[in-house]
Structure 1
Amino acid sequence: MRNLDRRLIQVVPSRRQLEHQQLEFYSFVHFTVNTFTGKEWGDGSESPSIFNPVKFDAQQWVDAVKSAEMRGLILTCKHHDGFCLWPSKYTKHTVAYSPYKNGKGDIVKEVSDACRKAGIKFGVYLSPWDRNNPAYGSGKPYDDYFVNQLTELLTNYGEIFSVWFDGACGEGINGKKQVYDWERYYEVVRKLQPNACISVCGPDIRWCGNEAGYTRKSEWSVVPARTRETELIADKSQKEDNESFRQREISASDQDLGSREILRDETDLIWYPAEVNTSIRPGWFYHEEEDDKVRPLEELINIYLNSVGGNATFLLNIPPTKDGLFHENDVKRLKELGDFIRHAFAKNLLNDAELAVSSFMRGYGIDNVREDNYLKYFRTDDGITEAVIDITWENEQLIRYIVMKENINCSQRVESFRIEANLGEEYKTVYDGTVIGYKRIAPLTPLVTDKIRIRILDSRVAPTLSFIGVY
């Protein structure tokens, strides 16, 4: 096990992956001709003349996104219907041939400018499946077309933090399917936007395996390299619109991607963190009949705690209305979610506590966890895979959440941990956990105590912690 663990901790995130995970929570915006037809998937025959969001306001989108404490926005610049939200030079199936601003509009520019002005990141979704373009299914001619459009998006709209590909691959208008040249697409992204993560059907960010918001108990970022094979992702991705796909849970066979047992015989390992993506409504695009079906606040809180607080990122979709605005029900729910996040994690009670630990490497003491950064962190000497951390206050505190973060620059190491509280003059277990990774939020049944004990029960080579928060 010792040799295996040493091999596992050699796998660490790239700079772009680390910066992406630090965003934690960001938005998806599905907007196209489907918004006006009531469909989830268009077939490419829709006329650009139907696209006219007369009240479109990118600032309203960004304000709502920021109110929820999101730090980025990914726009569906082109969905499977092939309609482009920017005036692409390579097709007439675009906003330039719509009534919106008399054909002078550019939704991508307005949104990217609003994001930049507000200090949040901007990302692009570009569907490789194009049900409008006659070259789809022809091989290189369509790849040339796709790369030309990708190049437009990556050169005309400033810095891009995410290029989001899915593997949807149905038939085009000619009845043919396209074999996507993923490596060519990746090369274009790396050349034009070297800091952008290529997500889902890409080498940087992994799809969690469902669109319902379900998460794994143990989300590992160190996984077999074969997990990244785009053919597998494309094979599991959606080929036709159906609600059962959107609501499916993670299969039992996919629950464990990175335990020692799974990785023991794997020769090629990669850092491949998970993203949890779901919509604030049942559908990804706007439907009037779903105005009263916005996810309950409690449900969104649970997804947030289990994704951002479970070593993944959280991508939440908000679909604009035909007018081009987020619906008031969605806006209200986003602010409620942001209010929860701001209130729940407003004051770190650790600031007023004393810290002690059973063992630490010289220069890496437990007081390093008071500041949330990777410049200083706690760790033990190699070979010491357990640790006991005691947190003590002069007076009793009401505690609801404990947050822990590893220094993932040193890989993901913690296998299991336990949180105990001094209740009635004895310590009782209040939380049992497995992985920590980038961040673990441990929700507790609210308790009052003056002593918390965190036990690192098992880790790879030696545990690291860059931050502990008590709220």
Structure 2
Amino acid sequence: MNFKAVSNKVIIVLPLVIFGAFFPFVLFAQTAPPEPYGPVPSPRQISWQQTNMYCLIHFGLNTFTDKEWGYGNVSPEKFNPSHFDADQIVAAAKAGGFKGIIFVAKHHDGFCLWPTKTTGYNISKSPFENGKGDVVKAFESAARRYGMKFGIYCSPWDRHSKYYGTYKYVQLYREQLKELYTHYGPLFEVWFDGANGGNGYYGGKNTTINIDRTTYYGWDTTWNDMVRKLQPNAVIFSDVGPDLRWVGNEGGHADETSWETFTPVPLAGQTGYGPGYVDYSHSPAGTRDGRYWMPAECDVPLRPGWFFHNDQNDQVKTPQQLFDIYLASVGRGAALDLGLAPDMEGRLYKKDVESLKEFEKILNKTFARNLAEGATFKASNIRGNNPRLYGPHNILDKNPFTYWATDDSVTTPYLILSLKGQKRFNIISIGEDIKLGQRVGAFAVDAWINDQWQQIAEATSIGNLRLIRLPEYIRTDQVRLRITSSPVCPAISEFGLYAEYTRKETHKS
């Protein structure tokens, strides 16, 4: 009898153990992830998006002639930095929290900073390192040493070349790109400026040459046959993508509503578009439900100019100004591309270095601790009633590709976070899993203050990252996230509360 009882227990309990072990798998397997909404990023775009900040380095003949745009008639003999130190420049960028550099291998004056075989107007004709120098290689090597990503800008416009405006120049330009894309290792980004055509030296013609910016360079061929084949992991930046769009200003800011999708719009009365030939009024905000996944890059120089000018030494942007720019670029789903300008010695000026270092200090101290960590959650809905896969705990796991999601029919849910005690903050962070597209159209955040919910923030686009700086510090032990508009269920991957670091804040509890 005892054996029978034990046997019955085994017969009964064992299936329960098996059912308990496998039932969650059976149940969860029936809960499919949300379908992507609209265009989604490619793997190269996702990798770029996680970079967030990098630097664009302008250093060439203009450095020695006190110009921004060289005419193309300056002798290579002018280029001769006395104490060139790529490591000092790259180290300063890294100390500033930046993750990559893009070097301007050729600006509009046509002077090539590597020993190209396509033109004699290059560094081998300068006295620098007795004509044996290669500044592109120097920056590429320094970037690798400091664990930084490396990219290249090679201006399409060439005010020196006598062939500019003809097909022969396009062939020469493509050869320049081939040299750069095959001799300097893997690139994370290649940069194409919108400045194309105008007055210049052009081999001594001293004339104006205008080109059809939509057709002259044959961008489809250049991008598809060269970049995609020679640097398949590099994103392509230009006014019109195809991977990244120019934000439309050089102030370093996207619009408060900034969609990561974009449909380029031709100029009024035109049917085509290209770099330097597009309606820029749409660029800062992007296009809701745009045709392409084409997030914005926000470029801005650390000084007023892109190249070094001695009279701008007292006009270096302050660390606080850089943090404001960060919030308006990275904090609006874009990337920050900060211009650095080495001086005539070939080094970054001390004030530039100091500003970068202090900027990183603000970033690090502000975002070192998410005050929402340890919170408990109450969600109005969890997709498939499956908290393991789609529960709100995912928004605090620091993984941009896990998320809180709801059932397809629930597009305006809410989530309450009960914090571990009273927290004081003035910055809110939120992100979406961009592998599923940019989904949310609008959201709001409330705080429990004086025994009631009070709205403290509202915004529209989210995307990869959205940072909201509140007008004043908030102290509370509960916050509520409300999705107020979305065409599909949300997929929220991140949520954070932070206290902005300033010197005066260090003495506050």
Query: Deviation of residue 259 (structure 1)?
Result: 3.2
Name the amino acid aligned to 1:346. Answer: A
403-412 vs 176-185, which moves further: 176-185
Structure 2 residue 119 is matched with structure 1 residue 94: no
| CA deviation vs aligned residue, 1:89-129 (integer Å, no higher than 9, x gap) | 11111111111111111111110011011111000000001
Query: Deviation of residue 233 (structure 1)?
Result: 3.7
- Asked if structure 2 preserves the Cα contact closer than 8 Å seen for 1:8 and 1:222, the reply is no
Whole-Å Cα distance in 2 between the matches of residues 73 and 256 of structure 1?
Answer: 25
Name the amino acid aligned to 2:251. Answer: A
Partner of 2:407: 381
Query: Deviation of residue 232 (structure 1)?
Result: 4.6
Q: Which sections of structure 2, spanning at least 5 residues, go unmatched?
A: 1-33, 499-509
Structure 2 residue 239 is matched with structure 1 residue 212: no
| CA deviation vs aligned residue, 1:303-354 (integer Å, no higher than 9, x gap) | 1011101011111101110001011111111111111110000012222211
Name the amino acid aligned to 1:208. Answer: V
Structure 2 residue 313 is matched with structure 1 residue 258: no
Structure 2 residue 486 is matched with structure 1 residue 459: yes
Structure 2 residue 433 is matched with structure 1 residue 407: yes
- Asked if structure 1 preserves the Cα contact closer than 8 Å seen for 2:54 and 2:338, the reply is yes
Partner of 2:38: 10
Partner of 1:185: 222
Name the amino acid aligned to 2:48. Answer: H
Query: Deviation of residue 131 (structure 1)?
Result: 0.9
Whole-Å Cα distance in 1 between the matches of residues 365 and 210 of structure 2?
Answer: 50
State the identity as a percent. 39
Residues 56-95 of structure 1 correspond to what in structure 2 (within 5 A)?
Answer: 56-95=84-123
Q: Larger Cα Rg: Structure 1 or Structure 2? A: 2
Name the amino acid aligned to 2:218. Answer: D
- Asked if structure 1 preserves the Cα contact closer than 8 Å seen for 2:447 and 2:456, the reply is yes
Whole-Å Cα distance in 1 between the matches of residues 286 and 251 of structure 2?
Answer: 19
Query: Deviation of residue 387 (structure 1)?
Result: 1.6
Name the amino acid aligned to 1:384. Answer: V
Query: Deviation of residue 7 (structure 1)?
Result: 10
Partner of 2:185: 158
Whole-Å Cα distance in 2 between the matches of residues 394 and 147 of structure 1?
Answer: 58
Partner of 1:197: 235
Q: Structure 1 runs of 4+ off > 4 angstroms?
A: 225-230, 253-256
66-75 vs 460-469, which moves further: 460-469
Query: Deviation of residue 235 (structure 1)?
Result: 2.2
- Asked if structure 2 preserves the Cα contact closer than 8 Å seen for 1:136 and 1:177, the reply is no
Structure 2 residue 330 is matched with structure 1 residue 308: yes
Residues 33-72 of structure 1 correspond to what in structure 2 (within 5 A)?
Answer: 33-72=61-100
Name the amino acid aligned to 1:418. Answer: A
Partner of 1:170: 197
Aligned residue pair count: 445
- Asked if structure 1 preserves the Cα contact closer than 8 Å seen for 2:76 and 2:121, the reply is yes
Residues 284-433 of structure 1 correspond to what in structure 2 (within 5 A)?
Answer: 284-361=306-383, 362=386, 363-433=389-459
- Asked if structure 1 preserves the Cα contact closer than 8 Å seen for 2:266 and 2:277, the reply is no
TM-score, L = length of structure 1: 0.90
Whole-Å Cα distance in 2 between the matches of residues 66 and 370 of structure 1?
Answer: 27
TM-score, L = length of structure 2: 0.84
393-402 vs 49-58, which moves further: 393-402
Whole-Å Cα distance in 1 between the matches of residues 302 and 86 of structure 2?
Answer: 19
Partner of 2:497: 470
Q: Secondary structure at the match of 2:276?
A: helix
Q: Which sections of structure 1, spanning at least 5 residues, go unmatched?
A: 1-5, 238-249, 264-268
